[in-house]
Amino acid sequence: MAGQSGMVAEDGVFGDHAVVADGLKESPKVGFQFIPGSAGVGETSESRLRAGLGIVGDRYFGKIAHRDSAITLIASESLPTGVDLVQTRRNVLLRGVAVDDFVGRVLTIDSGFGPVELAVRRAANPCAWLDAVVAPGTRAALRGKGGVRCSPLSDGRLRVGPVRVSVA
């Protein structure tokens, strides 16, 4: 994707502020992005999450209106070709995990620092902004698979690398 600075993973570029995990083929993989409260974009190889608050440094961190949707997840299999996390306005990219099926459940992700629990609250419906920023038809392409909005139930850290994922 020319013109975008982003973390380059083994299988492509996933956008600014992205931490894209490269793991074993049979293991779920995860990628992260956060958008800082201040202007500018950058990359991170690791993100800290705080229970009930979100991703440390994210523009929505600790905002009361966003506590039940502080973190957004999307399955990489749902992304249209050439679309990345920044364009979808999602924080977390999971490969091999059908996140849209987990509304009302708890997703636990462990990237080696210990488990981080996320309460999957609701669907993250795609908005019309996608048609303007990505391409006409992107919103329709993501309907029903636009990811989920979550609230962190535990503090923790997530980093680039293989992860373990479980659902309760």
CB atoms < 10 A from the CB of 10, how many? 9
pLDDT of res. 142? 87
Q: At 65, is the pLDDT very low, low, confident or very high (cuts 50, 70, 90)?
A: confident
Residue 62 lies in a domain: yes
Mode of pairing for the β-strands spanning 92-95 and 156-159: unpaired
For the whole model, what pTM was predicted?
Answer: 0.74
The total domain count for the chain is 1
Residue 86 lies in a domain: yes
Residue 65 lies in a domain: yes
Q: How many residues does the chain have?
A: 168
pLDDT of res. 119? 97
Q: Which two tokens stand for residue 35?
A: 């958008």
Domain range for 28: 8-167
- Decide: 90 and 124 in contact? Cβ < 8 Å: yes
What digits encode the pLDDT tens for the residues 108-154? 988 889 999 999 999 998 888 888 888 898 889 889 999 999 999 99
Residue 3 lies in a domain: no
Whether pLDDT at 159 is above 90: no
Residue 120 lies in a domain: yes
Where do we find the tokens 């950058």? 42
Residue 2 lies in a domain: no
- CATH code: domain of residue 48: 2.40.33.20
CA distances to 57, 58, 62, 142 from 37, in Å: 6, 6, 11, 27
Mean pLDDT calculated for residue range 28-50: 55
Residue 157 lies in a domain: yes
